[in-house]
Amino acid sequence: MKYLKLGREQELEADRFTGFIMYKYGADLADIMNMYHKISNNYDDSESTHPNLNKRLDAVKAGYDLATMKSKSDTQKIDLQEIKGNKIDFEVKDLSRIERNRLIIKVKKASTWEAMRYVDDHSKYDFGHGSGDFPAEYVEKIIRYHGQKEKYWLIDNDIEYLEVLNQMLVLADDNRIKFWPVTAIHIKGGILKLLIFTTADDSKVVYSAPFTEEQISLEEIRTIFIEIFKNGIQKEIDKYD
């Protein structure tokens, strides 16, 4: 339900942006509204990633009205977050180092060992897990991400925490077949980000939340990394089939 709610919020951000940008292109609000009537309706959206028609129309109008207001002012710089309507306002708790580390361990378990164990328990193959040194290409990506060459795999101070995890899923019957997403736990400014570096781009954020016990969903993290490990190891197996 948390995932669906987030999806609806993101769709409304996109609708606000639609209203804003379509005003800039000279569209009439009524024409935009008519288009939305063709693609949506007023259903119960509580179990959907997309909000119902009335909510979307309100978001479009809010974006359109904002563009109208901006056009009448001398403002040249436009804040994207203002257009989207998602100003983040939350209180970051001052966690002690012990509390912080306990929460980091929970996140680490959900994104590695627990996810890998699930894949092992629900697969026709037997898997183990291990660790290893990162290939140079990933080291370069990690350094480009945060700019630190010395101990590139770990930053740990009162302002920032970053740890790159080297846990991998290994086929028990053939240890040539292995997969690890090169995951990083990054905490800065009260925000937790989980990244992977085994992508076409330098890095990809796969989960983000305020770094508090109440805001972090360990179940969501576990689910995300189950899919990452499941799909990743399957690709490695397919290479040898």
For 17-56, the pLDDT digits (tens) are 999 999 888 999 999 999 999 988 998 888 888 899 999 9
Alpha-helical regions (H) of 25-159: 29-39, 53-71, 80-84, 97-111, 113-121, 136-146
Is residue 213 within 8 Å of residue 103, measured between CB atoms? yes
How confident is the model over 69-114, as pLDDT tens digits? Answer: 877 766 556 666 677 775 444 444 567 888 899 999 999 999 999 9
More confident call, 214 vs 135: 214
Q: What is the pLDDT of residue 162?
A: 93
Phi, psi (rounded to 5 degrees) for 152: -60, -20
The structure's pTM equals: 0.61
